[in-house]
Amino acid sequence: MGVLFDLLLVGYIACAGFVAAGVLGSLYQLITKEPPRFNFAGENILVFLAGIFMCLFAGPFIIMRNAIRGRRIENRPLGWLVASSTIAGMWSMCSGLLVMNVALVVAGFH
């Protein structure tokens, strides 16, 4: 039961990270009327730091959106989609761990 529980927990944490990325990416798109990108150009340091924060947490969403568009529109190979999914999954797991830790601290369990 230990290994199965660990795998389910890792999957849950990765899903939490991807959901957080999707929510942040969608919120960014709602506010700015353009999809999020890996672009750190800004007028001042505050905009630059906000862009880094946005890309740090919305990265899996940006990667998957670009990978799916690349597969559908540019006919990129399936391996490209698999590699992008793997990177986004690992990134989601890392950010999901942070999201879950923050949620536990806010709830008073940590």
**Higher pLDDT, residue 5 or 40:** 5
pLDDT in tens, 90-110: 999 999 999 999 999 999 986
Q: Which of 20, 4, 5 is nearest to 93 (CA)?
A: 20
Instruction: Report yes or no: 78 and 71 within 8 Å, Cβ to Cβ.
Output: yes
**To which H or E segment does residue 83 belong?**
helix 78-107
| Structural domain boundaries in the chain | 2-107
C-alpha torsion sign, points 12, 15, 17, 20: negative
The model's pTM: 0.85
> What is the pLDDT averaged over residues 18-29?
94
Which pLDDT value is given to residue 46? Answer: 87
Mark residue 33 as left, alpha or beta (left: phi above 0; alpha: psi -120 to 50; beta: remaining).
left
CB atoms within 10 A of CB 22: 16
pLDDT digits (tens, 9 = 90+) for 49-66: 888 888 899 999 999 999
What distance in Å separates the CA atoms of residue 99 and residue 35, rounded to the nearest whole number? 22
